Structure 1
Amino acid sequence: MGVHNVHERLLAATESEVGELLDTLASGDGDRLWPVPHWPRMEFDHPLGPGAVGGHGPVRYTVAGYAPGRWIRFEFTGPRGFHGFHELAVLPAGPDRARLHHTLSMSTRGAARLTWPLAWRPLHDACLEDGLDRAELACTGRVARPARRSPYVRLLRAAAVLVLRPRP
């Protein structure tokens, strides 16, 4: 199954200001874009750049390309059945405005043909919207229309906590 999923937010900030947010990804406490503590932290085996290996929670990827302040692409290595990439780009949108654009493009195989639409997609969409809220807050000091998690996403997150909780 082919998947093409896009999220974006028009921000009242310059391209360079939004690019600075992009460059903080996976920088631990300095990360101003990834929606921690609500989602598993994005981490890599070395600083953000081509060849860095990591991900967030059970979603794993390798940095395939990086233009600081402009664009970053991650190629999936997990979960099993995900074949493709996701990327973030900072796009011009007029004077003192920029668009933060996320694209996920992949094919799914095996069990992922079911798990993507039933679980991964709703969680992915919620996580991305939380991240775009965080970007808007960093750029403007407020979020005009905060993302809301559906009851289904709240159920999936509760189930994940139970499944992923360390056993005594």
Structure 2
Amino acid sequence: MVYNTHQREIAAPASEVGPLIDSLAGKNDRLWPRSEWPAMRLNGPLGVGAAGGHGPVRYFVTAYEPGRRIEFQFTSPSGFNGHHSFTATSLTDTLTLLRHELSMSPSGTAKLTWPLFFRPMHDALIEESLDRAENEFGSSPGAAHRRSLWTKILRAPFSARMTRK
């Protein structure tokens, strides 16, 4: 079983942080680091049943509470049996916990591809997403996740393609 969590305390009320989740996959997405990673795209508006993904990862929305939570069920890659979610939880009137959770039971080739390829890429992408959230509210001006050497090596072939677009 894989349980992977990333979170940040954002110095803003949940009523202001929650809309970051609501912007996912939209034209004005304020949470996903799409300038550095494949954009999250869905086949319709953000809501239960919308399907899509980013890069080779595919999923559909299984739960959505506007301004608070969204959950996606994986459909690919093969062997990704589980889900991932973003939640915004009020800690105080001016502090919100923004959390991303991934829970899955990898099978087949995913037992190798998750730890060797997908996990380092996932971890970097989500940390950069949380950096965007912090920077949005000035919680940590200039917050920037530092990619590991392994992540830089894995990204190299994809980065070249993204800069040619």
TM over 0.5: yes
Superposed displacement of residue 126, structure 1: 0.1
Matched, 1:73 2:65: no
Cα deviation for residue 36 of structure 1 reads 1.4
Q: Which runs of 5+ in 1 are unaligned?
A: none
Deviations 1:27-47 (A, max 9, x none): 02x100000110000000000
How big is the shift at 1:146?
2.0
Deviation at 1:143, TM superposition (A): 3.3
After the TM superposition, which segments of 4 or more aligned residues of structure 1 sit over 3 Å from their partners? Answer: 141-145, 159-162
Q: Which residue of 2 aligns with 1:93?
A: 91
Percent of aligned pairs with the same residue?
49
Which aligned pairs between 1:31-110 and structure 2 lie closer than 5 A? 31-110=29-108
* Equivalent residues of 1:13, 1:97 under 8 A apart: yes
Matched, 1:130 2:128: yes
Instruction: Indicate if the aligned counterparts of 1:13 and 1:140 stay in contact, CA closer than 8 A.
Output: no
Q: 1:116 aligns with which of 110, 114, 123?
A: 114
Q: Which amino acid aligns with 1:14?
A: P
Q: Distance in 2 between matches of 1:149 and 1:67?
A: 31
Counterpart residue number, 1:5: 4
Opposite residue 27 of structure 1, the aligned amino acid is: G
CA–CA distance in structure 2, aligned partners of residues 113 and 19 of structure 1: 33
Q: Which amino acid aligns with 2:99?
A: H
Is the 1:34–1:41 contact (alpha carbons within 8 Å) kept by the matching residues of 2?
A: yes
- Alignment partners' CA distance in 2, 1:143 and 1:121: 27
Cα RMSD for the two superposed structures: 1.6
Alpha-carbon distance in structure 1 between the residues aligned to 2:139 and 2:8: 15
Give the TM-score of the pair, scaled to structure 1: 0.92
Amino acid at match of 1:15: A
Which secondary structure does the structure 2 equivalent of 1:87 belong to? strand
Give the drift of 1:85. Answer: 0.2
Other structure's SS at 1:26 match:
coil
The reply to whether residue 22 of structure 1 matches residue 21 of structure 2 is yes
Distance 1:34 1:129 in 2: 10
Q: Is the Cα contact below 8 Å between 1:82 and 1:108 reproduced in 2?
A: yes
> Does the CA contact (< 8 Å) of 1:92 and 1:99 recur in 2?
yes
- The verdict on how the C-alpha distance between 1:117 and 1:90 changes in structure 2, with shifts beyond 3 A counting, is same
Q: Report the 3-state secondary structure (helix = DSSP H, G, I; strand = E; otherwise coil) of the residue aligned with 2:155.
A: helix
Letter in 1 for 2:18: G
CA distance in structure 1 between the partners assigned to 2:158 and 2:120 by the alignment: 13
Alignment TM-score, normalising by the size of structure 2: 0.93
Aligned to 2:156: 158
What's the secondary structure of 1:108's corresponding residue?
Answer: coil
Matched length: 162
